[in-house]
Each structure stands twice: as structure tokens, then as C-alpha cells.
Structure 1
Amino acid sequence: MPPIPTHARVVIIGGGISGCSVAYHLAKLGWTDVVLLERKQLTSGTTWHAAGLIGQLRASQNMTRLAKYSADLYARLEAETGLATGLRQCGSITVALTGERHEEILRQAALARAFGVDANELSPHEVARMYPHLETRDVVGGVHLPRDGQADPGNIALALAKGARRAGASIVEGAKVTRVTTADGRVSGVEWDADHETGHIAADHVVNCGGMWGRDLAAQNNVTLPLHACEHFYIVTENIPDLAQLPVLRVPDECAYYKEDAGKILLGAFEPVAKPWGMNGIPEDFCFDQLPEDFDHFEPILEKAVARMPLLANAGIHTVFNGPESFTPDDRYYLGEAPNLRGYWVAAGYNSIGIVSSGGAGMALAEWMNDGEPPFDLWEVDIRRAQPFQKNRRYLRTRVTETLGLLYADHFPYRQMATARGIRRSPLHEHLKARGAVFGEVAGWERANWFANDGQARAYEYSWKRQNWFDNQRAEHMALRTGVGLLDMTSFGKIRVEGRDALRFLQRLCANDVDVPTGRIVYTPMLNARGGIECDLTVTRLSETAFFLVVPGATLQRDLAWLRRHVGEAFVTVTDLTAAEAVIPVMGPRSRDLLRLVSPDDLSNDAHPFGTAREIEIGMTLVRAHRVTYVGELGWELYVPTDQAAHVFETLLEAGGQVGLTLCGLHAMDSCRIEKAYRHWGHDITDEDHVLEAGLGFAVRTAKGDFIGRDAVLRKREAGLTRRLVQFRLTDPEPLLFHNEPILRDGRIVGHLTSGNYGHALGAAIGLGYVPCKDGETPAAMLASDYAIDVAGRIVPAEASLAPMYDPKSARVHA
């Protein structure tokens, strides 16, 4: 074993493909003081037994960008290092056995076109021609991605390690990290144990690439890294005579994938109910180990596979394999710096797509560490989306029984998790449940998405067409538009910023001017140095030194981290108050009528104008009423102490009969907001999207003085926009939009939708998406083009607008 240094700029923990990729890319960026410590041998955890499928199309543009980078990297590694990676771009075929799955893969093909990935739609006859061993009598159709392929995972990792060493990194096997040390809120190094020798490496950065060991290691430092190992099964046949090279084949309706390799077939499974493993910790001596065979568990997959590919009936089984892999609660891996510990980085939890992901993930994390900000929007995999409660081991082992199988499940829009539910509940939860609420989950919160009618099943019936709640959503949507609706948005993140320097602190972070009178509400983004949108929030001034921030529930941990990271020497406290208050929005043109029935306070425009908050009486208690809206109508968000929320709800409901009050869910709120072209962070606006190109220049005040991102705003104003966020309405009322559908301008793909829903008041599906601007192009010239949206291969004409199509002057909001 080589000598272990006592100092390093960064220590990487774990020698699988993820750790080797991070080491390789940091070294390529000139970080010569890089040390990777592997507890046993390189690749000995999960990498060595991975199937090595290289599928370049992922669920979003940036995840596809990372996967394509991985494939390109693996293609050139052999020439660079002399180690063969086994990369073979044999293509892949996905077949559909149902109409719903066919719709899904046609939408994936459209997505591929938008992302620049080669994709060809296949008839059943074409599937049979390209994969002659397949039984295709019940195949509805397929999609072929010719640049997909397969590779040797272990050799890729070893090639990355060799490249890292050549660039100056140190890689030490047989050295286990026992603890990450810290000082003053950031990492200070690692303690290690090797052959009964121990030591400490002082380091500025530590990267947890520990795979299935990563959760327990992170927990030592109170870092949330929710992942859990599951058993993953595959078999390898004996050699099959005259078997030609074949594309990778996926039959998701039978939970199976097939890989031809050297005249054999590897058959793998992503079964609907998986087997968690390692509940009591991973054995200390685990290294290149297999788990016990469980043929009974695998047999249903094999039976269908033999019927699907009859040649398997006569092929002997060479290997029955069962090995552990890490899975996460939402089927997405974790990347980035822990929100509560500076210098503690994570790249782990790859959900069985670690080979195709690790090349790009290593690149992105290395650039993030080097530059201090991610190279592009990585929110889908950002470690800051993890919720602290998700460290719970019972929660994880329950949830991952489902997430393994979700890889090949139908990826229906609005699909909800079925396991590990009911953990975070509003104080109104049981009230809403009793009145027909059907719940969805975001960040662990149970939220009423829609309300079932009497006698209607209180469950989702999934489809790519109109789902069973479509008419319920329409009724709730129109209640918000024409009457009055009540929602529960207790899941909002609520943050109090207080102290002598609170105003100066927020003025530095906020793009808008928050130096306003007490009681005023300011909508504002927080920007990064590139002008991208880090946070999307409202700020309410409570007093000279206290402010109340409201953020999306899903981004609370991220937003708290952004705030706390910038406190510095400021005399200010940042407190999470999310659990302290319920939020009851009362929205619609009759919302004032309802509140007048339950409150003696004056709610006129003169007494309570839009954009103000004040304490009012409701029933026999006090609430803070914020006159703001995310649905585009007159309304108030009522902030109520959680212990009094039930009383306020009951009071509103009792009076609501006089004005036709309707309980509304989050699906209706979203369809209303998209009609009004209100942006949604994580879809329409991200840290990669410039605030001016997102159409949010009205919420930026450069004249107030310096703030983060101000220079980028001024530069963009001088240089002009290169793209704009546009609202679209399909001219055909039948098709549905969700997100990622390609946008065509004058017949050519120019982008994709960032979000979509049905606009019940506008009478058709509505989408938002960025469209590039030509040099010096005016908005009028931009809108003069012909626009269309690709919906599963069907080109549907669309109207385009830069102003909201619904109530463009916000007269209804200020009524």
C-alpha cells in the first residue's frame, strides 16, 4: 500500500465508478492534491456487477446532457489510458405491449428529438426485423435509439482511475474512512484505518461516493443522504450458437431487459416489489460478494422472458446473480454540497443507472467544486432536495421496495408513490380526507391534489389521456375562476429572517427592493452571479428588523442553505417556521364575500390592497392575511397557528355554504397558475435561467444598489435577450400537455415545454417554454411565426403569447 498523505485538497471516499469519475475530473481540472480512499478494492461494491447499459435519453435535458457526456467520455477513455472500456454502441430498442406504454415511448421519442438524441419509431414488424428472436405478436410498437449501447463497468472505473493517477491523483485501496472530521461548520479532513494502522488526512473538501455505505457515513455528520440497498437480480445464459450481436432490449411491461454479450444473453429485472437489503448495516468484509440466490423471486420474470424470447427455453443458465445496489426515495441520485456542512460533497445513490450517470455526474460535480456553482441546472439530483426525516431507516427500506420497480413502471403523469406515505401532514389533513381529498406527496408532505365526488373512487386511475380526476379538476378550477375556492398550502416553506442587519442582508440577496413599509409583501427572486434564479419567494416585512419569507415546500432545504451560506458576519438569524403555521388560501372573485361573513375587518382595496399583509379576526381567533395569489384571482392566503387551523377551516366551511365555497386541490391551483403564466421554480425557472429571459424583470430593481446578480442583469440588458419564456395554447382542445414536449417554430424544433397543464378557462392545454430569439428580434416579430407542439409525434398548432393569455393586465387580481 502506498503511503497515505497527511494533507490533501480533497479526499474522495469510495472507489466505485462514481468516486473514480470525480477523481478523474478533478485531476483534469488541475486539482493535483486529490486522494481517493477505497475501503477494499476498486469497483468492489456495486460497480463490478453492474449490467453496464448505456442509455443516453433521460427524463430531462440536463440529465440527458450528462448521460451523453458519459457515453462520449467512455468512447475516448481507451485511447487515453490504454484500458478497454468495452463500449459498444449497438443501439437499444424499447417495446410497448400496451397502448398506454406506446404513448409513453412515443413521447420519449419526441423528447429525444428535442434533446438532440437520435430516435426512430418502430412498427411491430420493424421490431421483429431488428430483434428476430423476439415474440412480437402482442407488441404495439417500439422506439430505437441507435447510439445507445453497453460497456464494461469495472474496466471503465479502472480506466478513470488510471487517468486520474496520470493527472496527479493518489488512489489508495485497503484504506477505510472511519470518520469525516469537522471544524467551525465545515469539513477538516478524514480519519482512516488500514491494516490496523490509523491516521488523519487534513482536507478542505470531502466527497462521499460511498454507495450503499454512504448513508451511514453521512449520518455521522448529520448529513442527510437517503439511500438504501436493494437486491438486484439477473441471469446469464450459456453460450447460444450463432447468436449475432443484438441491440440492448427493454421490455418494461414485463420488467425485463436483455443484453447480448459474447454470444450469451443477460436477462435482468426491475420487479415491482423489490427486496431491500442491509437493514442492519453492510457487512464489514463485503467485497466482490454476491447475495443468496432467490430463484422464486426471479421466476415470474423468467417465465415471461422465455415466452417473449423462445430461444431462452433451450439455453442453459450459466449464472444466477443477485447483488446489492443503492436506491433513493425518488429514483434520482444525489449530487452536490450538503446544505448543513461546508466542504462535504456527495455523489451517490444511482438507482441502477450509475454507469451511464457517473461520467457526467463526476464532470458536473468537479466543475461545481472548482467554480463554486454547478455548470447548469442540477436540481433534479441536488442533495438539497433531501428532507431530514428521510434518513430514517424504516422509511427508506419501505420506500425502496417501490423505487427499484419504478424504473420500468409506466411513467404516467401525476403518478404518486404508494409506499412510506402519510409522514408529513397538515393539521387540516383529516378534515380534507373526510371530504373526499385524494392526496399526493411532495417533500414528504401529504397535499390534497383533488377532491372526489360522492361515490367516486378516491384514487388515481393513471393514463396519458384524461385521467379520472380531470372533471374534478375542471370543477375546482372554474370555482376558483368564477366563485370561491379553499386550498391547503401548509406545505409552503416559511422562514423568519430577523436581526439588526436583516434588511441589509436581504437587500444583498433579493433582486427586488424589500425596503418597504411594514405589512408590504414583495415578490422577488434571489439570483446567482450569472443572473440565474436561485430562489423564488415572497418577502413580507413584519417590522423594522423582521421579515417573513415564503418559499415552495420542495425547495425549503435549498433556500435555507442559500440564506445561511450568505449570513457571514451579519447580525441576523434565519429560522425555519414551516411547522408553526398552516396556510389556507381563499381564492376567487367571491373570496371577499366569504371573508366578510367570518371577519369584522375591512377587506376593501383601500383597507387591504393587493400585496399587503395584516392581522385580521376570523371566527374566534386571529390570522395573518396575505393578499397575494398563485391562481390569478382576488384572494388571500391565511397564515394560521397550527393549533387554531381547524377552527379557522371549520368557520370558513360553515359560512361557505352562503357563497358556494368549493374545496380545491393542487391540480386546480396548477392549472390556474399556468393559465396566468405564473412561473414554477424547478420547471420554468431554475438557477440556469436568466431572470430577464424568464420574463421576471418586473421583480428586479437594479437602482436600489448592489445585490447578487445585479451585474449579470445589467449585462443582459445591454446585450439583449437570446431567448424568451413563451406561453402556448393548443388550437385543438383534445391533446394534453405535461412538460418536455418539443416546441416547433416555423416547422423546426427550437426548444421544449418546461411545464404544461389544461387551461379549463381558456379551453385547451397550456404550456410554457423558452424560445430562442433571433438577433435584434422584436417581441412582435417573434410572435409572428407559426408555432406548434409535438405531442407524442403529432404536430399540434399552437398560439403563442409573451403576456398571460388569462387576465393579462391582472385586473381580476386587483379587483
Structure 2
Amino acid sequence: MSDHARVVIIGGGAVGTSVLYHLTKLGWTDCLLIDRDELASGSTWHAAGNVPNYSTSWNVIKYQRYTSKLYAKLGAEVDYPINYHVTGSIRLAHRTERMEEYGHVKSMARAQGIDFEVIGPNEIKDKYPFIELDDIKGGLWDPFDGDIDPSQLTQAFAKGAKDKGARVQRFNPVKAIRQKPSGEWELDTKNGIITAEIVVNAAGYRAGEVAAMVGQYLPLVSMQHQYLVTEQIPELTKLKEKLPLLRDPDVSYYLRQERDGLLLGPYEWDCKADWLNGIPEEFSFQLYPDDLDRLEKYIEAAIGRVPILGQVGIQKVINGPIPYSPDGNPYIGPQHGLRNFYNCNTFSFGISQAGGAGKTMAEWIVYGQPEWDLWGFDHRRFTDFADKDYVHHKAVELYQNEYEIGFPVEERPAGRPRKVTALYDALKAKGAFFGARGGWERAAYFPRNAKEAEQKLSFHRAEMRWFAPVAEECKAVNERVGIMDLGGFTKYWVSGAGAEAWLDRVICGALPKLGRVSLGYALTERGTILSEFTVTRVAADRFYLLSAGSALWHDTDWLQAHLPTDGSVTLEEASGAGSSLVIAGPKSRELLATLTDADLSNAAFPWPSAREITVAGRKVLALRVNYVGELGWELHVPMADLVHVYDAIWNAGEPLGIADFGMYAMESLRLEKGYRSWKQDITHEYTPFDAGLERFVKLEKGDFIGKAALLERHGKGEAERFVPLIVETPTADALTCSIVFDGATQVGIVGSGGYGHRIGKSIALAYVRKDLSAPGSKLEIEILGKRYPATVAQEPIYDPKNERLRA
């Protein structure tokens, strides 16, 4: 048998069927879903079926609320019965920090029209009369939380899609996948060959097996997740309405009513990853053996909190596989290195996210870009550092901390280090506290004593043990000279006769002249920001590109997809070939002058320009730019020379008061300059004009990718504008996605927030309504549930004329 479909989806759980359903909603009906067994026979059938809206991420709240709203109408729309109970939920708080987190999440949710409430113990008791409130400070109420039957949900999605013309094949496992010279995919299945233009891997915990069929490794592991269901509880049989879903994150369990009993699901510390050496050939509708000993203390805690739980016996125990990525987020989007092959898998919370997943995946396929920027769900956020050992250790760590508070900075240690520069051991010996970014270890800060080296998590800067040493690092950069090993940039060499013309089409602004450096932005076809590059022209037909370390596979895929086919341009990825030493501060020229014969004067080496120079006898590419806003250079040094050059700079700099500085200091310094952070301050939901980056757009030049759409959007006028704000907050800085208000009206959202040590003030970089973006505009920002005055500042806040950069 042979078959053909425009899109083939592999995997018939809640997520796969949602993709099928949403594709048909967008008019793509020549779609086929195939499953190795019956629909919903993987993780879906044994899922607890909870449907929360809660998240500490702005877009995840949006995405999950889309899901819960869809479920409320799906049954009627497709004429299929679904048991969906909207009961509301209570999240308990034992700690003040938890209540603060709830204040932040409530603010984000309310900005999206979801009426979360932070409530006190008495209100909790009113909503949940069977609870004991010892040591409870309060909670968070979500009126739209609830539970759904996962198998019915899956069948409803499938029926809705089939009614519009899509097809479903059950009991048809895929044995092999290959790509034809035409670009089409050929799937060898039990029932014959299927040809497809596009393939979606929605195979749940078997997604890694599907990825292997196309020569790829997908970083996921299956964790055992247990929950138990009690016998009938007399008190519950008398209720007219179901109890709200109860979560106790400080203890790490959820508890909800299941018929007239209770369902208890802990996330235990003594957790277990399984199938590390392969998945059994047959596991559909199967479970692991019970292991209740691991849950004992959580069961006891839940009984103490809700005593009726302990009055009856256990009716059944479910212990099934749930796929986990290293950070617990799923994979939605293109597969690195392949064309027309997508991931929509590895959902730890698949039922609450299936609706949003289907919508996002369908938009990727149909439009080439989803409405929401869900970079945190793109599998390309992990590159080759995420091997099996890393995934295993990170997934266990994540499961253990599933309900932990989302503090602004936490550097979890499992699976590290993965990628290091040649300076790692030397900086570690100096006491550096490291954080991993894009798999690369970078010094976060340099503790001055043992106490400062201990990670203390808090929302309040005075309680963060790194705050004082970071202040000293910022002072050194501001007053003397600092040095930073900034490894892990994504780096490319672009060369060839067609390099200039090609880059001119890729970048929306002007290319730099020979020996000069500029910022360049690549846009989507919709005219929004895709990526940011530092572009250096080292020859007429040769360019050096830098982008975010985490963007390696993202940018590589995009650049390679747009390369000309005539061989006129060569793209060479060189991210691991060296590191970047940042030398910054008013004494940086004086320092470097002792180590090089190059002329470092403004006339010979102006800002922003680039030269190949010799430092301490080693050739380096020196860029007179930096991310901290002081006189300085980035020295791009081959890895083999890194230690030698660093040691020479340090020794020469000691008489000048040189100091090491790390990522946390750089973050403070860049906020004062208003330098944007990719995927935090600039995403594909904003254009360069929204982001205040119009100086990097050259509309008068020839065509560039996204130009037509950008012209159209700009012609209609921007609704928002990116601005820096000075926040009058005594202890805590604005978190990402804190909400900006004008009186009672929501008028903006924060991208980045933090403390500016040079100016001694709290800063928020935010998008606000354009009519309120003028310097001096008085607004408020809600931080941890409380409002604080904020004033729009002139950009940049620090050194507004860039006199220190040009010194």
C-alpha cells in the first residue's frame, strides 16, 4: 500500500490529535495522523488530566489559557461528549516568598483577563472546608482550573479533524523515515509507504525514537510519575459541586477530587528516570509497578493537610511514564538541520498544554511563524551539549524541583559543566561562581568570601549574596578596568563574492564599512525581529557575525536556509574556536597599550571599529565595542591562546586595579545602557520600530527579508514603544513580564529588570503604550503584587551621549 498526505503527524495522543485538529481549522485538510497503537495509548491515557492556567511565564499562561478556553467549547463544537470539570484551584503558600511569587503571577494573569486572586487562610477555608491551615500564609485562586478526561479529549480532537476531511490511521507503527531528493518525506510503516511534504513528530515519550529515524538526537527521558486514587469518601458524596483542585507546592503534591474520592499526585525527591537504554517494543496502555514507599512522606503530609484523605483506602495506583526535557518544557517547532520536519512532543504537562501546542504547531506549518514567541519550547535551545547523561541528570533535578519558586536567578548544578573555555579552571581557582548559558559555563560573579559563594535565592536584592560583590565588580568597570571571559557566543564567518549582497538582504539595516562594526537585525517574513547580529567587516567580501550563545542552532538553520544556491557565499560556523575577553573601563586603553604595539587612539581605532592586533605576542581580533557601556574592547582570542592572553592582561592590569567581573555585573551594566537581550527584550512579536531600534533599519535600501511586511506595519503606526524606566522600589526589582500601569489601566510589560549599580537605581526595560513613552511619563510597575512608581527615562540612562564609549 502507498499513500500520500501534505502533512503526516506521528503520534495519536492529546497533542498529536490537537495538531491535526488545528491544521484543519486553518484549512489544511490533506493531513494524516498515524499511531503505532490505539489513540491515547501512550502517556495520554494515564494522565491525571489537570488543566491549570498557572505559570510563571507570560506566554505559557497565554498558551495554557487558550487550552482551557478551547476545552470548554470543544465538545459542543465537534459533537463529542467530554467530561470537563471547571472547579477552580487553590495553590497553598507556606512561605512569604511563595506569596510574593503569587503576587507576580496574579498580575500577569489579570493582564490577560484571568481573574487570579491572592487569598488568605479564611478564604481558603471557605472554598475548601476539609483543609487544615497550620502554617499556611495564604494561597492563589484560579477560577478556571479543573480536570478533563484525557482519552475523551483525544477522541474529540480526532473527530473534529476527521469531520473536516483529515484522516487517522491506528495500529500503523513507523519503521523508517527517509527524505527523497525532492525534499518530500517517505515513511515506511507497517501498512506500507506514506509520502509527505511535512512530518510532525508528536510521538510523546517515543519522540526520541522517531528523531533517531532521521539521524537526530532529541534530548528527553521518561520519568516515572505516580498518583493514587482513594476509595469513596462519605463527605464527598454529599457535595453538590466538586472540590477545587488543591496544590501544595511547598510540599510538592497536587490533590483533586476524582468522582467521590481523592486523587493525590506527588513530585517526590526520590524520583526515578526509566528506559535509559531504550523503550520496550510494546508498552501501550501499560504501567510501571507501584512504588508507594517513595511517596510515603508526601501522603502523610497530604493527610495532615486534608484529614479525610486518610479515612479510606487506596483504590488504585497509577505509575506511568512522562517525557521530560532538561528544563521541563516541551519541544515545539522545527527540527534542527532538517527541512519540513517538526517537533511537537516531550510534554510533561500535555493535557493542560495540548490545545496551545496544536495551535502553535499549526501556525508554524501554515504561516512559517506562530503568533506567540515560544522560544522556550523550541528544541534548538539545546545544542550538542544536551547528551543522554545531561538529560538524565537535569530531568531528575527538574522533577525534584517541579514546584519550586521561580526566583529571578538560580544556577542549578546537575549535569554541569558541559562546555567550558580554556579559562574555566583558572577562574574556578579564583573562586568564580558559574552559571551555564547555552551550555557554556560563564563566571556569574566573584565572591569575596565563603558566605557570598553560597547561593541564596530571593526576590529581594539585599538578601542575594551576590549583590554586594557584583556592586564591586560594576564599580571596578566604571572607575578602573575589568576583565570578563565571555565564552559561548555564536560565531560565523561569511565570505565570498556574493557575501555583501546576501547579507544586505538578510539584514534590515546598513552593513558596516571595512574595519567597522555594527548591529544588524534579521527579520521574519512578517517584519518582526528574528535575530540580532554584531556584524564586523574584515575584508570587502568577508564578515564576522556574532549572535547569542543560545541562538546557535536557531540562527544556523535560518542562515543556511537562506544561503544562495550558486556557491557565491560560504558560511562557516566557528563558535567553539575561541572566546571573547571583554576589557572595559576608563583604564582599558592604558592597560592594553602596555601589551600591544597597535595604535589604540581614537583616530586610529575609533568606536565602533575592528582591527586584528597582537596582544602579548598573540594575534587577536579586537572589536572596540562592548555590552557594558564603557571604554573598552572585545578581544576575540583563539582558545589555545586564551590563558596566555588573560594572564598577560591580568598581570599588566594589577597596578591599575584590574578586577574580574561576571554575567551578573554585565547584566546590571547593560540595563543602564538599554542594551536589549535576545528573546527577553526582543522577540518575534515585535518589529524594530516597536523595539526602538529604527536606527538599525534602512528602509531606503533595496529589498530585504521582511521589508514589505515591515513597511505595512510601520505605515499603520506602532501601538507600543520600548523604553527604559526608573523604578522607585525599595527592595525588589521588576521581574520579566511585570505589568506596567497608568492608573488602573494596563499599558505595558517589562522585558528585563534589575538594579543599576552605577546610577544606584532600579531599572525596568519595557514595552509601553506609545503615547506614554515620552521621557518623564509617570507610570507604575506591579512588582510581586505591589505597585511602585516608575518614570520613563531618556535612553540610554547612563552616559546618554556615549561619551565614555567614545573616550
Shorter-chain TM-score bucket reads over 0.9
CA distance in 1, matches of 2:406, 2:731: 21
* TM-score, with structure 1 as normaliser: 0.96
Deviation at 1:21? 0.4
The answer as to whether partners of 1:725 and 1:802 remain within 8 angstroms in 2 is no
CA distance in 2, matches of 1:73, 1:115: 16
Deviation at 1:95? 0.8
Query: Residue 128 in 1 paired to residue 128 in 2?
Result: no
Secondary structure of 1:233's aligned partner: strand
Query: Residue 543 in 1 paired to residue 554 in 2?
Result: no
2:233 to 211, 232, 240: 240
Number of equivalent positions: 800
Aligned residue identity for 1:111: M
Counterpart residue number, 2:382: 386
CA distance in 2, matches of 1:211, 1:6: 24
The answer as to whether partners of 2:721 and 2:769 remain within 8 angstroms in 1 is yes
Aligned residue identity for 1:340: G
Query: Residue 317 in 1 paired to residue 314 in 2?
Result: yes
* 1:304-703 matches, cutoff 5 A: 304-351=301-348, 353-390=349-386, 392-466=387-461, 467-514=464-511, 516-570=512-566, 571-703=568-700
Deviation at 1:698? 0.6
* 1:282-301 matches, cutoff 5 A: 282-301=279-298
CA distance in 2, matches of 1:155, 1:580: 53
When residues 605 and 730 of structure 1 are mapped into structure 2, their CA distance, relative to the original with a 3 A threshold, is same
2:150 to 143, 148, 153: 153
1:793 to 785, 792, 795: 785
Deviation at 1:161? 0.7
When residues 180 and 98 of structure 1 are mapped into structure 2, their CA distance, relative to the original with a 3 A threshold, is same
CA distance in 2, matches of 1:434, 1:49: 49
CA distance in 2, matches of 1:802, 1:46: 52
C-alpha offsets along residues 184-217 of structure 1, whole Å, 9 cap, x if unaligned? 4945221111xxxx42111100000011111122
CA distance in 2, matches of 1:12, 1:718: 39
CA distance in 1, matches of 2:215, 2:432: 35
Counterpart residue number, 1:175: 172
CA distance in 2, matches of 1:94, 1:545: 59
Aligned residue identity for 2:546: V
Secondary structure of 2:235's aligned partner: coil
* 1:231-270 matches, cutoff 5 A: 231-243=224-236, 244=239, 245-270=242-267
The answer as to whether partners of 2:528 and 2:710 remain within 8 angstroms in 1 is no
2:209 to 193, 213, 216: 216
When residues 747 and 597 of structure 1 are mapped into structure 2, their CA distance, relative to the original with a 3 A threshold, is farther
Secondary structure of 2:560's aligned partner: helix
Deviation at 1:297? 1.0
Deviation at 1:84? 2.3
* TM-score, with structure 2 as normaliser: 0.97
C-alpha offsets along residues 421-479 of structure 1, whole Å, 9 cap, x if unaligned? 11111111011111111011112111111111144453311112221111111111222
Query: Residue 806 in 1 paired to residue 798 in 2?
Result: yes
CA distance in 2, matches of 1:234, 1:788: 44
CA distance in 2, matches of 1:565, 1:652: 41
The answer as to whether partners of 1:185 and 1:342 remain within 8 angstroms in 2 is no
Calculate the aligned-residue CA RMSD, in Å: 1.6
C-alpha offsets along residues 248-289 of structure 1, whole Å, 9 cap, x if unaligned? 111001111011121111000122342101112111111110
C-alpha offsets along residues 494-520 of structure 1, whole Å, 9 cap, x if unaligned? 111122211111111001221x43221
CA distance in 1, matches of 2:758, 2:452: 26
Aligned residue identity for 2:185: S
Aligned residue identity for 1:378: L
Aligned residue identity for 2:366: N
Counterpart residue number, 1:108: 105
The answer as to whether partners of 1:273 and 1:401 remain within 8 angstroms in 2 is no
2:45 to 39, 42, 48: 48
Q: Which moved more, 1:629-638 or 1:304-313?
A: 304-313
Secondary structure of 2:674's aligned partner: coil
Aligned residue identity for 1:528: T
CA distance in 2, matches of 1:190, 1:83: 31
CA distance in 2, matches of 1:585, 1:607: 20
CA distance in 1, matches of 2:744, 2:591: 49
The answer as to whether partners of 2:725 and 2:792 remain within 8 angstroms in 1 is yes
Q: Which moved more, 1:285-294 or 1:71-80?
A: 71-80
C-alpha offsets along residues 68-95 of structure 1, whole Å, 9 cap, x if unaligned? 1111211111112332222111111111
Deviation at 1:716? 4.0
The answer as to whether partners of 2:245 and 2:255 remain within 8 angstroms in 1 is yes
Secondary structure of 1:202's aligned partner: strand
Secondary structure of 1:673's aligned partner: helix
The answer as to whether partners of 2:452 and 2:465 remain within 8 angstroms in 1 is no
When residues 802 and 17 of structure 1 are mapped into structure 2, their CA distance, relative to the original with a 3 A threshold, is farther
The answer as to whether partners of 1:632 and 1:673 remain within 8 angstroms in 2 is yes
Aligned residue identity for 1:813: L
* 1:22-37 matches, cutoff 5 A: 22-37=19-34
Aligned residue identity for 1:510: I
Deviation at 1:530? 2.1
The answer as to whether partners of 2:56 and 2:406 remain within 8 angstroms in 1 is no
The answer as to whether partners of 1:596 and 1:603 remain within 8 angstroms in 2 is yes
Secondary structure of 2:254's aligned partner: strand
Q: Which moved more, 1:268-277 or 1:685-694?
A: 268-277
Gaps of 5+ in 1: none
When residues 409 and 186 of structure 1 are mapped into structure 2, their CA distance, relative to the original with a 3 A threshold, is farther
C-alpha offsets along residues 373-407 of structure 1, whole Å, 9 cap, x if unaligned? 222312121232221332x2222222211122332
Counterpart residue number, 2:760: 763
CA distance in 2, matches of 1:785, 1:395: 48
CA distance in 1, matches of 2:477, 2:552: 27
1:745 to 725, 735, 742: 742
Deviation at 1:227? 1.0
When residues 711 and 48 of structure 1 are mapped into structure 2, their CA distance, relative to the original with a 3 A threshold, is same
Q: Which moved more, 1:494-503 or 1:283-292?
A: 494-503
The answer as to whether partners of 2:625 and 2:633 remain within 8 angstroms in 1 is yes
C-alpha offsets along residues 583-610 of structure 1, whole Å, 9 cap, x if unaligned? 1111112211211122222111111111
C-alpha offsets along residues 692-719 of structure 1, whole Å, 9 cap, x if unaligned? 1100011111222111122233334433
The answer as to whether partners of 1:234 and 1:322 remain within 8 angstroms in 2 is yes
Aligned residue identity for 2:37: K
The answer as to whether partners of 1:67 and 1:356 remain within 8 angstroms in 2 is yes
Secondary structure of 2:395's aligned partner: helix
CA distance in 2, matches of 1:273, 1:760: 42
